[in-house]
Structure 1
Amino acid sequence: MNSVTRTAALVIGAVAMLVAPPVAMKVLGGSGDPRLSVGAAPPATLVPGDVRDATGRMIAGAVWTGLVSYDPRTGGPVMAAAESVTSPDRKVWTVRLRPGGRFHDGSPVTAGSFTGAWTAVLREGWHGARMLTEVARVRGGAEGLTVKDDTTFEVTLDRPLAGFPALLGDPAFLPMPEGVLRSRDWAAYGRRPIGNGPFRVAAHGPRETVLERPGARTVTVRSMPDAAKQYAAVEAGDLDVATAVPPDRHERMDTEFRGRHRILPGRAATHLAFPSWDDRFTPAIRHTLSMAVDRRAIGEGVLGHQTTPADALVPPGVLPGRRDGQCRMCAHDPKAAAAALADAGGWEGTLTLWHERGDAAWVEAVAEQLRKTLTIDVQPRSLDAGELRKALDEREVDGPFVVHSTAAYPAPAAALRPLLEARTGYRDGYVSDLIDQAEGAASPEAGVTPARLAESALLRDMPLMPLWSAHEHYVWSERVRGVTTEPFTGLLLARLSLKD
């Protein structure tokens, strides 16, 4: 920061002192700077079992210590609040906590802190309930949770799941203090959550969340949903880290923030799925449509550089076990697509693309590509989410429809399982058995091979054609170091620090 910029920043800071409360103060530059600042969209909630967005996950990763965390290098789980998570059959799991854990209010972190919080998630129907019932499949819900002693509890699942320990880093599985569990005053808890992690929440409001850590810099997460404002604030020295980059600055990001930017591969994917009840969509037609879509052009156009073109069914942020380049038919090849359509007998009538209203812009872009490449009539059809589900359940859908999926934990099987559960009507015993084998394998590593075989079979049949996965962008100021990210938490606030 040059002297002019620093002087301007100090003047602005002085004015802010006159009009803002102390919690909003920020003095830039120099060793006396009291805190680091991060721009992000405002979180929907900070109640851990109800966290549903990237900002909530980022803050939760700093305020709570879950049973496991994720290694940013390998993507695998690392024991955190748990000393061990073991099972003789991958179905009945014993969780032992590290001794001495405390919440920020001084109360102990016990086995009941976890089982009580999970029971609350189920009882209140929070966002994380699906993780317990549909992903982990805890037997009978709360009935599958048994406290053995203060530091030990048992979790019984409906079927073997080798990835269960990796799942436990999700906010749905975080603990809550006994006093909060007794009071059930979730509104008050959401305003000032009490966690067991490295940071405590000093203040939380619509404009910012202030996180304090003994012996370290305070981190302020500012509510800045506009990517352009975040980016500009880092350029001006008014913000330390931006968690979003506007589309029109993507190409210049490397020049403007050389060595100070990052693209984080995602774990969520978007697909076009085919209704199995419509015999017109043979594998040849599915492959044809896939080759006709220029994924990169749409990502760099209407999607504003926020996606990575798919080359597999497992998104790039899902490690370990993910392989690049598995989907040959995902490569854009308009000549091959046109020839393949002719070989398949052509297409008569209108091809309808069904989607929810929020996907309208990019679906129209896909439709236009298909019109030009294959010279067929393609028409998008937009419905509300509930209307689309009803149309699928009643098998009224007569064309490809949009499916969004997210891997719940870092394993290929976690990315593939939701595809079998999409409303395509697709059934294949071989693929289902392979995914079951992957989930119930003796170890996560042993589950990689059956998951890869399942992925190959799915790409051959292509009941869903992968389009792209979302990714995240980060840029940061020259005074910051330790910017570390991983797909299941996002930015690791506890690793941020200032350069010496």
Structure 2
Amino acid sequence: MKQSKKIAFVAGVASLALLATGCSSSSTAATGAEGSDATLTFMSTEPKSITPQKEPGSQIGMALCANLMEVNSQSQKLEPLAAKSVTSQDAKVWDIELQDGWTFHDGTPVTAHSFAEAWNATATGSNAWQGNGTFVSFKGYEELNPTDGSKASTEKLSGVEVVDETRLRVTLNAPNADFPKLLSTNPTCPMPESAFEDLDAYEQSPVSNGPYKFISWDHNQQVVLEKWDGFKGAEGFSGGADKLVGKIYTAVDAAYTDMTAGNLDMIRNVPATMVDKAKNQLGEQALYEVETASKQQTLQIPEYVEELKSPALRRAISLSIDREAIAASLLKGHAQTSDSLVPPSLGSYVSGSCADCVFDPERAKKILAEDGGFDGTLIIESNSASDQQLVQALTKQIQDNLGIKVQLKPTLGTELSERRNSQKLDGAVFGLWGWSYMSPDQYLSQYETGGDGNTVTGYSNDKVDKLLRAARAEMDEAKAAKLYTEAEAIIVEDLPAIPLFIPTDYGLQSQCAQLNDVQGDLQYYRAGYGC
């Protein structure tokens, strides 16, 4: 029998390297001039939740939580954080040992039970926490998420065993070499025992173990976080500000106005239509360009919207969009056209894998006519807080070039998120997708039956499912990438999502803010303080 490789991530070596480098400018300036309070403000929308397990993409949740694994912003490598080690012989059964002496913000110890209980609650379908899909691969997930509408037969993931206070053993349904990366995502954060005494109260004042602790949430106004002195993570896992204030806006234009007036320090995911204006008004130094292109704009099409089920219609829609023209004119060169379901920064990317992601309106009309035409109205839902000019341009092109009725439906981000996750969309949905960790699986698992993010489209294909499972089990990254490529080739035939653009990802920073990106994403809580 072939001996399997042992996958191991152990704390220690990386920490020594960090200690040897000394302090960064962000730490020396952390208290600000003459000991003044070093406060950085950033743009936020009104959170649906600020607990990491309920709203995994929340920058506030990220600041509150220290994951078992995390990418160090200085080394750009995945390293143990709350974990001491994460090891496996077969990528299916994983042993996790925790760091010694870590506590929550309230001083109570972080134990193996803290993770296990949080995972059980998040994986329980009836709780309807957004991070639920993260645990699809855990043994026992199906029992916590019955598909027939019945009540769950258990309250715990059978694949999560608490060995003792500092050790966990996790058994997956199938091997997954990306498992240590998954442990760097917000849904895998721990929760203290006190959280389960009153989850509603905890929601309004969460306690976690990350670099920043919760201070206050003034709904529709701001969320305030404060640097926590008890955080034991290295400098690459935290920022330089004493205090973070998430100021709440309903649109990026209002946030930009505040930044030009000197009332805001940081904006991420800056729309391409705003970049040149910001460069002229705020100066080149205010723009921060993320090095790794990790994000993609797509038009996702739910399988449950009956009138949009035809792959021919989807191909026609894709062919009716002049991506090059939009990228050059409206987006002013701050985006590249997308021709794949994964971005070019990933190893499985193949140029032109989406053959219908070119502009050919005559072919589009012919395909649609041969398919029987389309007499209804194509509804495109989107987040009203961003990219409205881009969505309007797409709507007009599809309508003009394909000759069908198209209706734009902008919605507040929290409502749109709820509609996506509960399968209540009325049509296609425009959105920005990025990875939580660097892997093709972060994009393609959306198209696996029951996979993380699959609720949006509901797409299902047995061949795709088998290929994605095989790719996860493959410890050789090159071989895994080939399997992901094969899976994508099948998916693009059906186009459950239409690739549009890979935006050049910009952040805006004030003189005091020093943004840092982590493998293609900006995180406010890791910003330095330069005043």
Range into which the TM-score falls when normalised by the shorter chain: 0.7 to 0.9
- The answer (yes or no) to whether the contact 2:348–2:440 under 8 Å persists in 1 is yes
1:50-95 residue CA offsets vs partner (Å, 9 max, x unmatched):
125x4xx322322221111135589763321112222223222211
- Return the alpha-carbon distance in structure 2 between the equivalents of residues 78 and 94 of structure 1: 15
Matched, 1:39 2:72: no
Paired position in structure 2 for 1:260: 286
Paired with 1:267 and 1:440, the residues of 2 have a C-alpha distance of: 25
- The 8 Å contact of residues 308 and 471 in structure 1, kept in 2 or not, is answered as yes
- Tell me if 1:412 matches 2:413: no
Report SS of the residue matched to 1:439: helix
Please give the alpha-carbon distance, in whole angstroms, between the structure 1 residues aligned to 2:363 and 2:508: 44
Q: 1:112: Cα distance to partner?
A: 0.9
1:314 maps to 2:327? no
Give the corresponding residue for 2:150: none
Q: Could you tell me whether the CA contact under 8 Å between 1:412 and 1:451 is conserved in 2?
A: yes
What one-letter code is carried by the residue in structure 1 that aligns with 2:132?
R
Alignment match, 1:452: 485
Asked whether 1:442 is paired with 2:467, we answer: no
Task: Work out whether residues 49 and 126 of structure 1, in 8 Å CA contact, stay in contact via their aligned partners in 2.
Answer: no
| Structure whose CA Rg is larger | 1
Secondary structure at the counterpart of residue 116 of structure 1: helix
Return the offset for 1:172.
1.2
**Residue 207 of structure 2: aligned partner:** 194
Residues 43, 267 of structure 2: 8 Å contact kept: yes
Alignment of 1:125-144 (within 5 A): 125-134=127-136, 136=138, 138-139=140-141, 140-141=143-144, 142=156, 143-144=158-159
Q: Using the alignment, how far apart are the partners of 1:193 and 1:358 within structure 2?
A: 30
Q: Deviation at 1:357?
A: 4.9
Instruction: Name the CA distance, whole Å, in 2 between partners of 1:410 and 1:158.
Output: 22
Q: Report how far residue 168 of structure 1 moved.
A: 1.5
Residues 73 and 441 (structure 1), Cα distance of their counterparts in 2 relative to 1, 3 Å cut:
farther
The aligned residue for residue 20 of structure 1 is none
- With 89-98 and 272-281 compared, the bigger mean Cα shift is at 272-281
| 8 Å Cα contact 1:435/1:454 also seen in 2 | yes
CA 1:315 to 1:93, structure 2 compared with 1: closer, same or farther past 3 Å? same
| Distance in structure 1 (CA, Å) of the matches to 2:459 and 2:59 | 36
Q: How many Å separate the matches in 2 of 1:44 and 1:344? A: 40
Aligned AA for 2:100?
P
Q: Secondary structure at the match of 1:250?
A: helix
Please say if 1:156 is aligned against 2:157. Answer: no
Contact 2:435 2:443 in 1 (8 A): yes
CA 1:85–1:425 in structure 2 vs 1: closer, same or farther (change >3 Å)?
Answer: closer
**Please, which moves more after superposition, 61-70 or 426-435?**
426-435
Cα 1:364/1:245, change in 2 over 3 Å: closer
- Counterparts of residues 351-500 of structure 1 (less than 5 Å): 352=376, 354-355=378-379, 357-358=381-382, 365-366=393-394, 368-374=396-402, 376-380=403-407, 385=419, 389=423, 401-402=428-429, 409-421=437-449, 429-442=462-475, 446-460=479-493, 462=495, 464-468=497-501, 473-481=506-514, 483-486=515-518, 490-498=522-530
Aligned partners of 2:173 and 2:354: how far apart in 1?
A: 36
Residue by residue over 1:129-160, the C-alpha shift from the partner in whole angstroms, topping out at 9 and shown as x without a partner, is 52344355654452221100111111222222
Quote how far apart the aligned CAs of 1:418 are: 1.3
Give the drift of 1:170.
1.8
Uncovered stretches (5+) of structure 2, i.e. residues with no partner = 1-30, 145-155, 231-239, 411-415
Mark the CA change 1:471 to 1:49 in structure 2 (over 3 Å): closer, same or farther.
farther
TM-score by structure 1 length?
A: 0.74
Residue in structure 1 matched with residue 359 of structure 2 by the alignment = 333
Change (3 A) 1:387 1:250: closer
Which residue of structure 2 lines up, in the alignment, with residue 94 of structure 1? 95
Match of 1:238, as an amino acid? Answer: N
SS of 1:329's equivalent in the other structure is coil
Note the residue ranges of structure 1 that are not aligned, 5 or more in a row. Answer: 1-27, 393-399
- Do the aligned partners of 1:138 and 1:155 also contact (CA within 8 Å) in 2? no
Q: Which residue of 2 aligns with 1:51?
A: 55
**CA distance change for structure 1 residues 180 and 347 in 2, over 3 Å: closer, same or farther?**
closer
CA distance in structure 2 between the partners assigned to 1:194 and 1:388 by the alignment: 28
Which of 249, 256, 263 in structure 2 is aligned with 1:238? 263
| SS of residue matched to 2:89 | coil
In structure 2, relative to structure 1, the CA distance for the partners of 1:77 and 1:208 (3 Å cut) is same
Relative to 1, partners in 2 of residues 1:450 and 1:497: Cα closer, same or farther, differing over 3 Å? same
Q: Note closer, same or farther for the CA distance 1:36–1:138 as it changes in structure 2 (3 Å cut).
A: farther
Distance 1:145 1:48 in 2: 20
Secondary structure in 2 aligned to 1:474?
strand
The sequence identity of aligned pairs, in percent, is 23
Q: What RMSD in Å do the two structures reach over aligned CA positions?
A: 4.4
CA contact (8 A) 1:75 1:486 kept: yes
1:293 Cα offset (Å): 0.8
Indicate the larger mover: 287-296 or 343-352.
343-352
CA distance in 2, matches of 1:302, 1:448: 34
Give the SS at the match of 1:211: strand
C-alpha contact 1:267 1:487 (8 A) present in aligned 2:
no
d(CA) in 1 for partners of 2:278, 2:73: 23
The reply to whether residue 227 of structure 1 matches residue 252 of structure 2 is yes
Any residues of structure 2 matched to 1:202-221 within 5 Å, and which? 202-206=215-219, 207-214=222-229, 217-221=241-245
Query: Does the CA contact (< 8 Å) of 2:296 and 2:503 recur in 1?
Result: yes
Q: Secondary structure at the match of 1:259?
A: helix
Question: In structure 1, the residue corresponding to 2:284 is in which secondary structure?
Answer: coil
CA offset at residue 466 of structure 1?
Answer: 2.0
Q: With structure 2 as the length reference, what TM-score do the two structures score?
A: 0.70
- The residue type paired with residue 431 of structure 1 is V
Q: 180, 185, 188: which is aligned to 1:165?
A: 180
